């Protein structure tokens, strides 16, 4: 049997196979951020399709951290009831489900988040065309508290764990990056200071939800920006996270501002698959917790090789599950050897994700 169909432990929890649905913003919540029936159905299908661990799209922990319309909210207790519909649907199957919790930082607009977007430092974002406001020390403390409260809501709603979004230039990632974090207080400067927000959130989640509540991170391994976060920084952060109790690390990278984000278009051929896997392998050599390999993984053979060669413990995919939520089942049954996703990126749809290529074919 392929190693991909063997179970793996994330902290105290067992994931039935090595396939992860990497967090994918569904654009399906209502205007307030309440979970919709369409969203519940999307997650039910991923579970029916045998994805071992499903990670939701990013849910915002403060109103100032809303990144886009139709994004799921987790900033208030009133969202718990709606959120609970997701794990309830998923748990009819062996799959596990984590809520990704996030704050957009400066990668949003005033009209979406209701204030001048915030950041560790006032560094202009040429993509969102935002000059953010620097957060005060007390606001950073409040941010940590709100991330911890959001994790508590996820637990209350029945999620098996949470993923802290520390990638792609969003707020925690912008604390990690020396490009966006120019602070000279305890939240900026050396890597241990830039990682303080993430580490305090992690320790707080573990204290309030219990050490047995699985908490993982999606970590930028590079910003692709001169003066930005480097792989060496990421390795050090991974070591600090492990010491603070992280249960797994999904390795991503990129920042829109660098002109090189996390969702690379136009991949073809097995040689191009797994564009962040080498960074994952470097991090895996430094830590003992499970590491998730990511970035353009499309074929079963490549996925298998990544895990068999010990470069990662799990493989994360996003777009292939938009194309076919039953891909894992199809792999297991021998009905597919690879995803038909061509990485055209036409699935980003503010009215709800979907494969535009598939629609065209039909």
Stretch that binds ligand FMN, among 42-50, 229-237, 288-296, 304-312 (CB under 6 A): 288-296
The pair of three-digit structure tokens given for residue 228, joined into one six-digit string? 């930005």
Which positions from 199 through 228 interact with ligand FMN, judged by CB under 6 A?
218
* Binding of ligand SF4 by 318 (CB under 6 A): no
Question: What is the DSSP secondary-structure string of 170-198?
Answer: SHHHHHH-TTT----STTSSSHHHHTHHH
* Binding of ligand SF4 by 305 (CB under 6 A): no
Out of ligand SF4, ligand FMN, none, which partner does residue 346 contact, by CB within 5 to 8 A per kind? Answer: ligand SF4
Among 66, 323, 328, 338, binds ligand SF4 (CB under 6 A): 323
* Binding of ligand SF4 by 343 (CB under 6 A): yes
Break the chain down into helix, strand, coil percent, rounded to 5: 35, 15, 45
CB-nearer residue toward ligand SF4: 12 or 345 = 345
Q: How far is the CB of 152 from ligand SF4 (least distance, A)?
A: 34
Q: How far is the CB of 339 from ligand FMN (least distance, A)?
A: 8
Query: Residue 240 phi/psi, 5° resolution?
Result: -65, -40
The answer to whether 276 touches 295, Cβ cutoff 8 Å, is yes
Distances (CA, A) of 242 to 11, 37, 203: 11, 37, 11
Stretch that binds ligand SF4, among 91-99, 136-144, 157-165, 352-360 (CB under 6 A): 352-360
* Binding of ligand FMN by 317 (CB under 6 A): yes
Which positions from 20 through 49 interact with ligand FMN, judged by CB under 6 A?
22-25
CB-nearer residue toward ligand FMN: 228 or 261 = 261
Stretch that binds ligand SF4, among 48-56, 97-105, 295-303, 338-346 (CB under 6 A): 338-346
State the Cα–Cα distance between residues 176 and 285, nearest whole angstrom.
21
The answer to whether 186 touches 193, Cβ cutoff 8 Å, is yes
State the Cα–Cα distance between residues 98 and 56, nearest whole angstrom.
6
Dihedral Cα 203, 209, 213, 215, nearest 10 deg = -40
Cross-strand pairs, 315: 19, 293
The total number of residues shown for the chain amounts to 362
CB-nearer residue toward ligand SF4: 255 or 327 = 327
The answer to whether 20 touches 315, Cβ cutoff 8 Å, is yes
Q: How far is the CB of 219 from ligand FMN (least distance, A)?
A: 10
The answer to whether 92 touches 47, Cβ cutoff 8 Å, is yes
The bridge status of strand 8-10 relative to strand 13-15 is: antiparallel
The answer to whether 361 touches 52, Cβ cutoff 8 Å, is no
* Binding of ligand SF4 by 297 (CB under 6 A): no
Q: How far is the CB of 56 from ligand FMN (least distance, A)?
A: 8
The pair of three-digit structure tokens given for residue 35, joined into one six-digit string? 């979970």
Stretch that binds ligand FMN, among 37-45, 84-92, 145-153, 290-298 (CB under 6 A): 290-298
Q: Is there a catalytic annotation at residue 170?
A: yes
State the Cα–Cα distance between residues 70 and 179, nearest whole angstrom.
30
Q: How far is the CB of 322 from ligand FMN (least distance, A)?
A: 7
Task: Give the active site residue among 27, 75, 124, 170.
Answer: 170
State the Cα–Cα distance between residues 195 and 240, nearest whole angstrom.
8
CB-nearer residue toward ligand SF4: 243 or 344 = 344
Stretch that binds ligand SF4, among 39-47, 65-73, 209-217, 318-326 (CB under 6 A): 318-326
Catalytic residue ranges: 170
Residues forming contacts to ligand FMN in the complex (CB under 6 A) are: 22-25, 57-58, 100, 165, 167, 218, 252, 262-263, 294-297, 317-320, 347-348, 353
Residues that bind ligand SF4 (CB under 6 A): 319, 322-323, 341-347, 355-358
């Amino acid at each position: 049997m392929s190693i991909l169909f063997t179970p793996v432990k994330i902290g105290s929890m067992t994931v039935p196979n090595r396939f992860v649905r990497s967090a994918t913003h569904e654009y399906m919540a209502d205007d307030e951020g309440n979970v919709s029936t369409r969203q519940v159905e999307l997650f039910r299908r991923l579970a029916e399709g045998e994805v071992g661990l499903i990670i939701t799209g990013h849910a915002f922990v403060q109103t100032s951290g809303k990144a886009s319309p139709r994004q799921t909210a987790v900033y208030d207790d009133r969202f718990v009831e709606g959120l609970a519909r997701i794990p309830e649907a998923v748990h009819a199957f062996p799959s596990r489900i984590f809520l990704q919790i996030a704050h957009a930082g400066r990668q949003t607009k005033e009209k979406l988040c209701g204030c001048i977007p915030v950041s560790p430092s006032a560094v202009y974002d040429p993509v969102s065309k935002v000059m953010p406001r620097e957060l005060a020390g007390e606001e950073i403390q409040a941010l940590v508290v709100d991330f911890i409260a959001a994790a508590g809501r996820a637990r209350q709603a029945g999620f098996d764990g949470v993923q802290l979004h520390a990638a792609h230039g969003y707020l925690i990632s912008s604390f990690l990056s020396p490009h966006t974090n120019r602070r000279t207080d305890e939240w900026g400067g050396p890597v241990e200071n830039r990682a303080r927000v993430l580490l305090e959130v992690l320790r707080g989640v573990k204290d309030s939800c219990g050490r047995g509540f699985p908490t993982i991170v999606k970590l930028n391994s590079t910003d692709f920006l001169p003066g930005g976060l480097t792989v060496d920084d990421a390795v050090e952060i991974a070591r600090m996270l492990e010491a603070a109790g992280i249960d797994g690390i999904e390795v991503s990278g990129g920042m829109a501002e660098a002109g090189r984000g996390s969702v690379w278009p136009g991949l073809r051929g097995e040689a191009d698959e797994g564009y962040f896997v080498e960074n994952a392998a470097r991090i895996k050599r430094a830590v003992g917790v499970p590491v998730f390999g990511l970035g353009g993984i499309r074929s079963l053979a490549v996925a298998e090789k990544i895990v068999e060669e010990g470069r990662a413990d799990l493989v994360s995919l996003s777009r292939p599950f938009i194309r076919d939520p039953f891909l894992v089942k199809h792999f297991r049954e021998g009905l597919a050897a690879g995803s038909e996703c061509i990485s055209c990126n036409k699935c980003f749809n503010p009215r709800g994700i979907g494969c535009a290529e598939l629609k065209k074919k039909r």
